[in-house]
Amino acid sequence: MNIRRVPIALRLFLTVLLTTLVITTVSLGVLHWTMQKNFARYVADVEMQKLDHVIGNLAGVYTVYQDWGNAIQAQILQIEGDAAPDDYDKLSRWWLRRQYDIALQQRYFQENTLLSVSPSLNPGEQSKPVVDAGELRMMELNLPSEYQPFEGLKFPLSSNQNIFRTDKKADATQNQGKKKQFISMPDRLGLSSRLSLYDANKQFVVGEPSDIPVSYRPIMVNDKIVGYLGLKPVLDKDDALSINFFSNQKRYLLLIYGLTFLTSLIAALLLATYFKKPIQRLLNATRELTKGHYQHQVKINRNDELGDLSNEINQLAVILDQHEQSRRQWVADTSHELKTPLAVLQAQIEAMQDGIRKPTPEHFESMLRQVTSLKKLTQDLADLAQAEAQQLTCYLADVNPWTVVLQEVENFKPKFAQADLSISVQGEGANLQLDIDRFKQIMVNLLGNSIRYTEAGGEVRIHTEQSATHWSVIVDDSPLGLSDEQLARLGERFYRVDDSRTRSTGGTGLGLALSGKIAQALGGKLSFEHSPLGGLRCKLTFPKQLNK
């Protein structure tokens, strides 16, 4: 089944776009919902801030009567006389409206009272106050001059408080038992018609009852809540004004949503393009590597993970190129090393076939040496390949490596004598976990290398060093000495310091490379330094087998 592949740039584009749209949709939806749900309450809370004077007056009323019912009944009776029962509810609402009007007038006079001082004719006379703004406002309202609402009401009311009379002949009618008329201030915000009074338990007392939640402000007397002033919200989400308001807000939100969608579209496109180009270049670079073009390099100037990836790919290309060169050199060196003894062996066999050489024991011995050289070369190649693949078989056991060193030195003494070299041995053993055959193989390679590269009359010195955790055997020889460049290349496959001299003695250039790999397989290390004797120092180090 063929599944259509979605490019990573398209996935990134869709992810960014859809994520932004989801967040924007949810945010604007929640904003619209909370606005519809809480906007009316917010408006009412703002309006409640304008009722400070009403709260103060109601607190004063409660201080006098200590009960809302008594306060309302007493004040109505004092002003209206004996009201009929069917008028009591209406008068109760008027009572709360009257408290609002009183507070409104108090606020007006407090904000607009101006005291002016007339200039004195004589310097010694004191200035006299003229008419203030409060009196001017009372004149506009046709109220008597003794009406002073900004001072508040004094309860209980006395018969001479002429604060609710509507005509200028009120003094003549004060004692005639007429009902006093209530004069209201202009209520531009319509607050008085939406007020309600509740007791300390939020039980309705008087005012405009409401089926919807109202905003409350506590009425405090001596730091104790004695009641609440409630205000019915002016807005309802189902009335025409609210519907029109929210319709406009919805259009604005849709406009914001459209602009957000367009912005997200552009941003997601730019972001996808920003990542697509370097990813495409990296993909092309990997394709070049799979084709074997290891010299190909990709340059991405970015300070992020894609820039790091491009650097890693370039380093990988360099390593692969080095390995390819090494592989080619390996094939060339191996074929060359195999070709030389095979050519010599072939020439000897053909000479015998042609009767040029007779099949004497000496000739067979010469041919056997070539076969032995080929066998050693192929075995070294096989061991080296296994070691590099970490497949070299090792059988570890507790051994004392110094006894192995002494045995191999004894075996090599005839060769040292033949090469006119002196050898000295001094050291001590240790308890190590080693494969004794592999360790012998390393020592044979080191001793054979010293014989091949030390001039006649030279010296070979073997000694040991050890610490609490490691044991080392060191093989020093005298000149031929090595340069730093030659020392750095020791351990490479088929590398010979003196190629012609080594060939004459049977060296293949694999001994030190193989010894280093075997040492690693055994958990040790083979290192090369300049010898104090003027030649080469080979240092073979292994960790000790600590007693548990």
SS (H, E, C) 292-347: CCCCCCCCCCCCCHHHHHHHHHHHHHHHHHHHHHHHHHHHHHHHHHHHHHHHHHHH
* Per-residue confidence (pLDDT) for residue 281, from 0 to 100: 87
Alpha-carbon torsion angle 435, 436, 441, 447, nearest 10: 130
- Give every CB contact of residue 158 below 8 A, 6+ residues apart in sequence: none
CA distances from 496 to 163, 164, 394, 493 (A): 126, 127, 28, 9
Output the six-digit token pair for 146: 């003794």
- Give every CB contact of residue 171 below 8 A, 6+ residues apart in sequence: 162
Q: What is the number of other CB atoms lying within 10 angstroms of the CB of residue 159? A: 8
Q: For tokens 């939640």, what's the residue?
A: 213
Output the six-digit token pair for 111: 């904000």
Output the six-digit token pair for 535: 């030649």
Rounded-to-integer distance, Cα 294 and Cα 290, Å: 9
Q: Are strands 432-434 and 397-399 parallel, antiparallel or unpaired?
A: antiparallel
CA distances from 319 to 220, 330, 386 (A): 85, 16, 21
Rounded-to-integer distance, Cα 520 and Cα 69, Å: 103
Q: For tokens 């009412």, what's the residue?
A: 44
Single out the residue of 303, 317, 94, 117 nearest to residue 206, CA to CA.
Answer: 94
Burial class of residue 434, CB neighbours in 10 A (0-12, 13-18, 19+): buried
Task: Delimit the domains of the chain by residue range.
Answer: 8-43+239-276, 51-115+128-188+191-231, 290-339, 394-543
* Per-residue confidence (pLDDT) for residue 132, from 0 to 100: 43
* Per-residue confidence (pLDDT) for residue 168, from 0 to 100: 36
| Domain 394-543, CATH homologous superfamily name and number | Histidine kinase-like ATPase, C-terminal domain (3.30.565.10)
Q: Which residues of the chain have pLDDT under 70?
A: 1-3, 5, 36-37, 40-41, 77-89, 91, 111-189, 234-243, 245, 494, 496-509, 546-548
Task: Confirm if 379 and 510 have CB atoms less than 8 A apart.
Answer: no
* Per-residue confidence (pLDDT) for residue 295, from 0 to 100: 85
List, in sequence order, every residue forming a beta bridge with 464; answer none if it has no partner. Answer: 473
Rounded-to-integer distance, Cα 422 and Cα 444, Å: 17
Its sign, for the CA torsion 410, 416, 420, 421, is: negative
* Per-residue confidence (pLDDT) for residue 508, from 0 to 100: 63
